[in-house]
Chains A and B, each alone.
Chain A
Amino acid sequence: MEITRYVMKSLTNLGKIFSTRCVSGIAFVPSQPDPSFGETSKMNLCQAINNAMDIAMESDSSTCLFGEDVAFGGVFRCTVGLQEKYGKDRVFNTPICEQGIAGFGIGLAVCGSTAIAEIQFADYIFPAFDQIVNEAAKYRYRSGNLFNCGKLTIRATWGAVGHGGLYHSQSPEAYFTHAPGLKVVVPRGPIQAKGLLLACIRNENPCIFFEPKLLYRAAVEDVPVGDYETELGQAEVVKEGKNVTIVSWGTQLHVALDAAQMVEKEIGVSCEVIDLRTILPWDIDTVAESVYKTGHLIVTHEAPITSGFAAEISAKVQERCFLHLEAPISRVCGWDTPFPHIFEPFYLPTKWRVIESIKKLIDFQH
């Protein structure tokens, strides 16, 4: 533990060098494609999502894609070309009414059609909260499996984007993880996004798929061009390590990875980084197994800390791994404020806050 105190100074110096990069955005770490999925093509997150929906529509003629401004290609260009390819009856605009969009999607799914609904920003999903939480989530249960809306997927852009202020930055996943019956999924890059979105569309439960909008163009990977699915409910160990487990998802996963790589290089602390991918129902086994090994856990997300999903992970891991924990579980999250505009660099759980937290964990004295 002596080493870390010594290195703290050198890290502060490093901070000066890297501070501009930290403010301007995150360091995206591309994933490698599974070679068994065959031929790949360079795609950014937008294109990977577009490609997934293209495959979904091609393989199931009942699939409809709808929302605000999706017909001309979407305000983020995720639906470009799909209306020309599949027709106006399958890719279409709706009036501006989120509760209507969600309810309409449920109704399509009840009649056996595959429904992909788009909510333009996750910040505007709240008017549809009732339809999602009281209706979609409970459809199968309350009818004794007579009816269900399992073929519904709701996509929404998600997370910080640098200048989105209060209503173009939110990460509302925790609100939905309190609703049994839903699946909540967040990818960290193009390869994941395509596989997870195809899995959501074909899963027989209503899914909410949050797309980190900061990565739409910034994230480019070699994405398999064929049809493949990434299993839901399965976390992924993105980087193996011995001393500290860091759990995150979406854009923040890259912040965690960046921090992990830096502390490993500078102070020799080895971090295991886990991408949760599916937030509900989540993969406790993979996380617990890692914590058995490292004895330290940090959970980091952009959303505010109080009642954020890190709270659930912390409580569950504390139950499961009590005797293995060598320090209190640490949560590095957004502050309990609305998401601010000009203060964004100070609001976000930056790499430096993650690094500080890693060091505090390692230095923890009983």
Chain B
Amino acid sequence: MFANFRRCFIPTYSQLSSLTILRQNLPSFTVCNCNTSSDFRINEFTEKYLSHRKAEFTEKLEILSPFRQSTIPIYRVTNFEGQFIDPNYELDFTSELAIKMYQNMVTLQQMDKILYNSQRQGRISFYLTNTGEEATQIGSAAGIHDDDLMYGQYREAGSLLYRGFSLENFMNQCYGNAKDIGGGKQMPVHYGSVEHHFVTISSTLATQLPQAVGSAYAFKRERNGRIVMAYFGEGASSEGDTHGAMNMASTLKCPIIFFCRNNGYAISTPTTEQYGGDGVAGKAFGYGIHVIRVDGNDLIAVYDATKAARKIAEQNEPVLIEAMTYRLGHHSTSDDSTVYRPSEEVNIWQEKDNPVTRFCTFLRNKGWWSDEEDMAYRQKIQEEIMQVFLCAEKVSKPNILTMFDDVYKEMPKNLQEQRDELIQHLNNYSEYYPIKDFEGT
């Protein structure tokens, strides 16, 4: 109704500067030669209103119930014992890739542990762990090409790690030190890297989704063969931007994968308070986009689903993947999840379905990985992370005046003046500021 109201404002014909141009612009209509009015209307509805989806009239009065429709199934490959459920299943990746993915998961676990604890000790200001979601991140990153563009929410450090973002980069960002490639401007875990085709994270939920669609459209026009991967949580799926993004990806036919991490909670809010339908995947048909729901704790299933989705996306057909998982950790270091969910719930997920344990069992069954190798790798990576962590801590913060950089491409006069004002002020009052933590001014 709102939109119609707006359209009332279209100028009258007398106001138009050129009527002839308007007429020339009219699309050539094809009206079907149907015998009956019903045929005519079904034809119109089918072709023009429903993108050639066959419509039918019905004389049966029935309001469709969402509870009678079948729920989208959860695709899986292995059971928790790491065995293929379908004995005829053929694995699509090599032992090298399997070990790389597993090592990434372990690295992510160790990095989370060290940085989480460092926040608890007040050494960094904030942190978000990825616990329980390692397989969704790394399996999906492995399922697309390394130069496909990624837009994340904030719990996708594993995807970035898979692409080779260095431990130094992770730590420097969390410390906001002078070596942070983001310039120390954002809170910890807001990573980004041009080299790794990972657009810098922002805190605003779901804003990345319509942006990802715009980027996918640019790729489509360039015919560069790349697609866009846009990650988000099930909570972010409630934002208006998610709706706008899916609708635009569908109507503008963009090469994009929407990857939803459904981990059961948005901070304290359980999914029953987030949506009333068949999860996030259930929304896809409404937008006319392809969809698959996958067991997010089964790395092989996530990898396969993403790889298959990419094949569709590269044909300029958007795909939605909903990965069912569980947020094992707190929402963030500013959150104590035991206040809103029983710790038994966390323990049982940890025990019955930890994605890292599950993939490790698979690797051992295959004979690709042993307990000794596991122990040695964990030891080695822990030491490596600690070393990088301690180094990052020692690096001083960036030059204070870089605070004024990059607001605009160039620095406008008002900002130059304000920068000078700060310099002047610090000359007089430096003893009240943590000047020595920052690089020389």
Q: How many residues of A are counted as interface, with CB atoms below 8 angstroms from the partner's CB atoms?
A: 69
Residues on the B chain within 8 Å of A115, using CB:
214
CA distance A77 to B214 in the complex (A): 25
| Any A CB within 8 A of the CB of B375 | no
From A281, which residue of chain B is reached at the shortest CB distance? B412
A104, A138, A205: the one within 8 Å of B217 (CB): A104
Q: Which of B147-166 contact A (CB under 8 A)?
A: 149
- Whether B211 pairs with A107 at a CB distance below 8 angstroms is yes
A83, A109, A124, A144: the one within 8 Å of B182 (CB): A144
Residues on the A chain within 8 Å of B211, using CB:
103-104, 106-107, 110, 135
Query: Could you list 23 examples of A-B contacts with CB < 8 Å?
Result: A46-B17, A69-B7, A73-B25, A77-B16, A95-B247, A100-B241, A103-B241, A104-B214, A105-B214, A106-B210, A111-B214, A112-B218, A120-B6, A121-B6, A130-B241, A141-B406, A142-B185, A144-B182, A144-B183, A144-B184, A144-B185, A146-B193, A164-B9
| Any A CB within 8 A of the CB of B212 | yes
User: Least Cβ distance of B402 to chain A in Å?
Assistant: 9
| Any A CB within 8 A of the CB of B11 | yes
From A149, which residue of chain B is reached at the shortest CB distance? B211
Known: A104-B248, A112-B218, A113-B218. A75 touches B9 (CB 8 A): yes
User: Least Cβ distance of B224 to chain A in Å?
Assistant: 10
| Any A CB within 8 A of the CB of B392 | no
- Which 5 residue pairs are nearest across A and B when measured between Cβ atoms? A107-B214, A103-B210, A100-B244, A144-B183, A143-B200
| Any B CB within 8 A of the CB of A270 | no
CA distance A281 to B412 in the complex (A): 7
CA distance A73 to B218 in the complex (A): 22
User: Least Cβ distance of A115 to chain B in Å?
Assistant: 7
| Any B CB within 8 A of the CB of A251 | no
| Any B CB within 8 A of the CB of A10 | no
CA distance A107 to B211 in the complex (A): 4
- Whether A107 pairs with B185 at a CB distance below 8 angstroms is no
CA distance A285 to B214 in the complex (A): 38
Residues 71-84 of chain A, each 1 if its beta carbon lies under 8 Å from chain B, else 0: 01101110011011
CA distance A74 to B214 in the complex (A): 21
- Whether B185 pairs with A146 at a CB distance below 8 angstroms is no
Question: Taking beta carbons and an 8 Å cutoff, which residues of A are in contact with B?
Answer: 44, 46-47, 62, 64, 69, 72-73, 75-77, 80-81, 83-84, 89-90, 92, 94-97, 99-100, 102-113, 115, 120-121, 124, 127, 130-131, 134-135, 138-148, 150, 164, 168, 180-181, 183, 204-205, 217, 233, 281, 284-285
Q: Which of B229-260 contact A (CB under 8 A)?
A: 240-241, 243-245, 247-248, 251-252
Known: A89-B221, A112-B218, A145-B406. A104 touches B210 (CB 8 A): yes
| Any A CB within 8 A of the CB of B65 | no
- Whether A147 pairs with B244 at a CB distance below 8 angstroms is no
Residues on the B chain within 8 Å of A281, using CB:
408, 412-415
| Any A CB within 8 A of the CB of B192 | yes
- Whether B215 pairs with A141 at a CB distance below 8 angstroms is no
Known: A144-B185, A168-B9. A233 touches B412 (CB 8 A): yes
A73, A164, A180, A204: the one within 8 Å of B409 (CB): A204
- Whether B192 pairs with A107 at a CB distance below 8 angstroms is no
CA distance A110 to B185 in the complex (A): 19
CA distance A94 to B252 in the complex (A): 8
From B204, which residue of chain A is reached at the shortest CB distance? A134
- Whether A146 pairs with B245 at a CB distance below 8 angstroms is no
Residues 393-411 of chain B, each 1 if its beta carbon lies under 8 Å from chain A, else 0: 0000000000001111100
Q: Which of B175-192 contact A (CB under 8 A)?
A: 180-186, 190, 192
CA distance A92 to B252 in the complex (A): 9
Which of the listed residues A76, A95, A146, A285 has the most CB atoms from chain B within 10 Å of its own CB?
A146
CA distance A103 to B228 in the complex (A): 15
Residues on the B chain within 8 Å of A75, using CB:
7, 9-11
| Any A CB within 8 A of the CB of B22 | yes
Known: A113-B218, A143-B182, A180-B407. A130 touches B414 (CB 8 A): no
| Any A CB within 8 A of the CB of B91 | no
- Whether B248 pairs with A127 at a CB distance below 8 angstroms is no
| Any A CB within 8 A of the CB of B209 | yes
CA distance A205 to B248 in the complex (A): 24
Q: Which of B25-62 contact A (CB under 8 A)?
A: 25-26
- Whether A103 pairs with B202 at a CB distance below 8 angstroms is no
| Any A CB within 8 A of the CB of B194 | yes
CA distance A47 to B204 in the complex (A): 38
User: Least Cβ distance of A243 to chain B in Å?
Assistant: 28
| Any A CB within 8 A of the CB of B15 | yes
CA distance A233 to B412 in the complex (A): 9
- Whether B214 pairs with A110 at a CB distance below 8 angstroms is yes
CA distance A112 to B199 in the complex (A): 13
- Whether A146 pairs with B17 at a CB distance below 8 angstroms is no
From B200, which residue of chain A is reached at the shortest CB distance? A143
- Whether B17 pairs with A135 at a CB distance below 8 angstroms is no
From A75, which residue of chain B is reached at the shortest CB distance? B10
Known: A44-B17, A144-B181. A104 touches B213 (CB 8 A): yes
- Whether B149 pairs with A111 at a CB distance below 8 angstroms is yes
Residues on the A chain within 8 Å of B412, using CB:
233, 281
CA distance A99 to B240 in the complex (A): 8
